[in-house]
């Protein structure tokens, strides 16, 4: 979501004649696009601001946008007096106002819902992977999560608007579409005639575009995985055989405290249905260890589910207490030391899953999407249909963005391959 917001901000400023620079010292305007989901992310913003305010040239505008802006509000100006603007995730389209009035302090953390989508100029050039947000906010209220506070209540964008964005992305260079939402598979939009549109409708419509070869979506909430959506994995070959469906914990007791779906058997049944319609599908998850009151037995259940589902490409985090969340006020907060040990043990398991899956890919041929050059300039980096990184020697001929690649080697973090001409 933040990558998308960053792309829109860049495109908006380019319309105003600005160009991007990697050098803080050269910049006329410096924008930190921020995440507040864990304390560490927020802390990083303020330490970066401390560095930047000294490094920036005189008169350069400095500001923060996104969830830390929303969370800090006017307080941010007190902490960093050099700040010129503080704009929340639903109001960054107001950014040009600071260009017009650089001597003011611009604060806007309004929850204006979908307004920004109408205000932002359409992209004129799309990256190969186009992120298309289909909703804002989230209504689930997991007790650890700050997102419902920073990004507001859940709103699905009109079906027609999303499809317009998708068509525009396809016409301007996209090959892959990634639909985005905090609760993406809960997308529901009813038009003026009363017709209901779901994520499966967006996928079906997008798959008709000849320019688009790959479709995926993130992040899914387990109980929103409706049958129509499961079935489309069996019907639509452009939909990648890979799904991020966070479980967070393997313990029903902890899941209840997280205000998450706590029926592990129901979760496994969804995975089973997905595998029955798409036998080669792989699942990834997000995990939180050290949630308040999590004991050894709860944690063992998390390891158990990680082993059983054989998750690939997963994310794991130590629980971080956040303002405006219920879990931050719960008793039995877990020590940093225990959180660290549990995270290490979980990561060992996740790495083992990953290595096992990566190794099983050797000798397979996969159509992969070009991502960029590696640091040495001697290799090209591709993404497999499972979003693994695959590195190939740079050929001496021009390549197209989609290439058939034979996987020749693997370790836990990436694959090696050869382009098949
Ligand atoms: N709805 C989005 C939420 C983004 S946060 C999604 O499902 O991806 C991404 C991940 O961060 C969550 O899935 C969760 O595993 C983790 N997370 C959220 N709040 C957290 C917290 N307070 N401490 C640690 N990890 C957290």
3-class SS of residue 224: helix
Which of 36, 180, 221, 286 for a ligand 1 pocket mutation test, highest count of atoms within 8 Å of Cβ? Answer: 286
Structural contact between residues 176 and 194, judged by C-beta atoms closer than 8 angstroms: no
Mean pLDDT over each residue of the chain, to the nearest integer: 97
* Pocket mutation for ligand 1, best pick of 5, 37, 259 (most atoms within 8 Å of C-beta): 37
- Segment (H or E) for 312: none
Strands (E), 109-237: 129-133, 135-136, 155-156, 176-180, 188-190, 196-198, 214-218
Please, how many CA atoms are within 13 Å of residue 390, restricted to the half-sphere of its CB?
Answer: 30
Dihedral sign (CA 30, 33, 37, 38)? negative
pLDDT band at residue 113 using 50, 70 and 90 as cut-offs: very high
> What whole-number distance in Å separates Cα of residue 231 and Cα of residue 281?
12
Atom in ligand 1 nearest the alpha carbon of residue 316: 15
Superfamily of the domain at 115-357: tm_1862 like domain (3.80.30.20)
The CATH homologous superfamily of the domain defined by 2-108: Methylthiotransferase, N-terminal domain (3.40.50.12160)
Task: Give the model's pLDDT for residue 421.
Answer: 84
150 lines ligand 1 (CB under 6 A): no
| Predicted pLDDT of residue 299 | 98
Q: How far is the CA of 145 from the centre of ligand 1 (A)?
A: 6
DSSP letter (8 states) at residue 290: S
CA atoms within 13 A on the CB side of 259: 11
- Could you tell me the end-to-end alpha-carbon distance of the chain, in angstroms, rounded to an integer? 35
pLDDT of 215 > 90? The answer is: yes
pTM: 0.96
Separation of 37 CA from ligand 1 center, angstroms? 6
- What is the distance between the alpha carbons of residues 229 and 176, in angstroms, rounded to a whole number? 19
- With a 6 Å cutoff on the Cβ, whether 38 touches ligand 1 is yes
Ligand 1 and 37: CB distance under 6 A: yes
In this predicted model, what pLDDT tens digit does every residue of 354-412 receive, in sequence order?
A: 999 999 999 999 999 999 999 998 999 999 999 999 999 999 999 999 999 999 999 99
CB 148 within 8 Å of CB 139: yes
Tell me the pairing of strands 61-66 and 214-218. Answer: unpaired
Using a 6 Å cutoff on CB, does residue 220 contact ligand 1?
no
Residue spans of alpha helices (H) in 56-110:
67-72, 75-79, 96-100
CA of 44 from ligand 1 middle (Å) equals 17
Give the C-alpha separation, 130 to 165, whole Å.
Answer: 9
Distance 148 CA to ligand 1 centre (A): 11
Q: What distance in Å separates the CA atoms of residue 120 and residue 140, rounded to the nearest whole number?
A: 27
| 383 sits in which H/E element | strand 379-383
pLDDT for 33: 97
Give the integer Cα–Cα distance in Å for 246 and 121. Answer: 33
pLDDT at 62: 98
Indicate whether residue 386 lines ligand 1 (CB < 6 A). no
Reported as a single tens digit per residue, the pLDDT across 348-368 is 999 999 999 999 999 999 999
Q: Residue 291 and residue 288: Cα distance in Å, rounded?
A: 7
> What is the distance between the alpha carbons of residues 24 and 55, in angstroms, rounded to a whole number?
7
Where do the domains of the chain lie? 2-108, 115-357, 365-419
The two three-digit tokens of residue 271, written as one number:
């995975």
Helices (H), 104-155: 115-119, 147-150
Which string of DSSP letters, residue by residue, matches 325-380?
A: -SGGG-SSPPPHHHHHHHHHHHHHHHHHHHHHHHHHTTT-EEEEEEEEE-TTSSEE
**What tens digit of pLDDT does each residue of 115-165 get?**
999 999 888 999 999 999 999 999 999 999 999 999 999 999 999 999 999
Q: What distances in angstroms separate CA 87 from CA 36, 54, 111, one per listed residue?
A: 14, 22, 11
- 91: nearest Cα among 106, 79, 80, 77: 106
> Tokens 């319309």 identify what position?
15
Digit-coded pLDDT (tens) for 35-63 = 999 999 999 999 999 999 999 999 999 99
Would you state the pLDDT for residue 7?
A: 92
Phi/psi for 352 (5° steps) reads -65, -45
Residue 122: the pLDDT is 86
What 8-state DSSP symbol labels residue 414? E
Rounded mean pLDDT, 14-31:
95
pLDDT in tens, 240-275: 999 999 999 999 999 999 999 999 999 999 999 999
For ligand 1, atom 19, the nearest C-alpha belongs to: 145
pLDDT tens digit sequence for 294-349: 999 999 999 999 999 999 999 999 999 999 999 999 999 999 999 999 999 999 99
Tell how far the Cα of 286 is from the centroid of ligand 1, in angstroms. 7
Burial class (CB in 10 A: 0-12, 13-18, 19+), 358: buried
CB 142 within 8 A of CB 259: yes
What architecture does CATH give domain 365-419?
A: Beta Barrel (2.40)
């Amino acid at each position: 979501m933040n990558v998308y917001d960053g792309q829109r901000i860049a495109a908006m400023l380019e319309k105003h004649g600005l160009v991007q620079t990697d050098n803080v010292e050269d910049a006329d305007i410096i924008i930190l696009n921020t995440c507040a989901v864990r304390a560490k992310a927020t802390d990083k913003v303020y330490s970066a601001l401390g560095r930047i305010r000294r490094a920036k040239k005189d008169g350069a505008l400095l500001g923060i946008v996104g969830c830390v802006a929303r969370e800090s509000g006017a307080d941010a100006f007190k902490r960093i007096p050099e700040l010129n603007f503080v704009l929340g995730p639903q109001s960054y389209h107001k950014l040009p106002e600071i260009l017009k009035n650089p001597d003011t302090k611009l604060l806007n953390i309004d929850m204006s819902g979908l307004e920004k989508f109408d205000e932002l100029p359409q992209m004129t050039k799309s990256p190969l992977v186009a992120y298309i947000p289909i909703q804002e906010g989230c209504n689930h209220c997991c007790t650890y999560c700050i997102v419902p506070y920073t990004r507001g209540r859940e709103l699905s964008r009109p079906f027609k608007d999303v499809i317009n964005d998708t068509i525009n992305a396809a016409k301007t260079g996209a090959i892959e579409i990634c639909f985005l939402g905090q609760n993406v598979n809960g997308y529901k939009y009813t038009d003026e005639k009363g017709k209901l549109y779901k994520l499966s409708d967006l996928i079906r419509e997008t798959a008709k575009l000849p320019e688009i070869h790959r479709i995926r979506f993130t992040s899914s909430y387990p109980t929103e995985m409706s049958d129509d959506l499961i079935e489309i994995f069996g019907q639509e070959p452009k939909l990648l055989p890979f799904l991020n469906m966070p479980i967070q914990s393997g313990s029903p007791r902890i899941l209840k405290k997280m205000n998450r779906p706590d029926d592990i058997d129901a979760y496994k049944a969804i995975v089973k249905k997905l595998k029955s319609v798409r036998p080669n599908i792989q699942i990834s998850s997000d995990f939180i260890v050290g949630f308040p009151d999590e004991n050894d037995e709860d944690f063992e259940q998390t390891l158990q589910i990680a082993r059983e589902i054989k998750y690939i490409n997963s994310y794991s985090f130590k629980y971080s207490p956040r303002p405006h969340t219920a879990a931050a006020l719960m008793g039995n907060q877990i020590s940093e030391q225990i959180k660290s040990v549990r995270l290490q043990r979980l990561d060992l398991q996740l790495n083992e899953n990953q290595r096992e899956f990566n190794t099983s890919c050797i000798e397979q041929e996969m159509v992969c999407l070009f991502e960029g050059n590696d640091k040495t300039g001697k290799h090209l980096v591709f993404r497999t249909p499972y979003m693994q990184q695959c590195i190939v020697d740079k050929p001496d001929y021009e390549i197209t963005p989609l290439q058939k690649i034979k996987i020749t080697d693997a370790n836990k973090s990436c694959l090696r391959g050869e382009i098949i001409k």
